[in-house]
Amino acid sequence: MGNEPFVVTPEAYDRALNVVGTKVTVLASNEATGGYGITFQQGHEGTGPPPHSHGWDEAFFVIKGSVEFSYGEKTMVAAPGTLVHLPAGTVHGFRYGAGGGEMLEITGQGSLAANMFTAVDQEIPPGPPDIPKIVEVLKKNGVTLAE
């Protein structure tokens, strides 16, 4: 599908993946576009990934609520309409603010994000996370947790 036009309507969305409490809907994988990936993410207040890095660029566009992003030595709160771009290798993390939030995630060439989200959904059951198992699944998919 990578070089062919396509349309994804809400009726055709794959089910939202449970990624340690964040709902992630893969709208377009890197394989499907031949380049970039797009996900729609919804999280409850206080949820989000710990500081981590990976070998692909990533950008987030906040749609609803607020999201606190940390990257390098900086922390900022992104309101709806804010775009946050994080180059490959940047250590970053985020937390959804009061009332939770929604955002689009766009990943760059070579991203394994859609694969990683699917693996976490399949291999990590709901409830208190098995941290060693999560670390293993992330590592297999090109993501390194910061220490």
Residue given tokens 């990578």 in the structure block: 2
Q: Please tell me the predicted confidence (pLDDT) of residue 2.
A: 54
Q: How far is CA 49 from CA 11, 22, 31, 97, in A?
A: 28, 9, 24, 13
pLDDT (0 to 100) of residue 4: 85
Residue pLDDT, tens place only, 22-54: 999 999 999 999 999 999 999 999 999 999 999
Count of beta carbons in the 10 Å neighbourhood of residue 79: 12
pLDDT over 80 (residue 3): no
Q: DSSP H helical segments within the chain, as ranges?
A: 30-33, 113-123, 131-140
What SS3 class is residue 9? Answer: coil
Q: What is the mean pLDDT of residues 107-128?
A: 92
Give the pTM.
0.93
Per DSSP, 11 falls in state: G
Main-chain phi, psi angles of 63, to 5 degrees = -100, -40
Helix (H, G, I), strand (E, B) or coil at 136: helix
pLDDT digits (tens, 9 = 90+) for 84-115: 999 999 999 999 999 999 999 999 999 999 99
Q: What domains can be seen in the chain, in order of their start residue?
A: 10-145 (2.60.120.10)
User: Cα(69)–Cα(74) distance, rounded to whole angstroms?
Assistant: 8
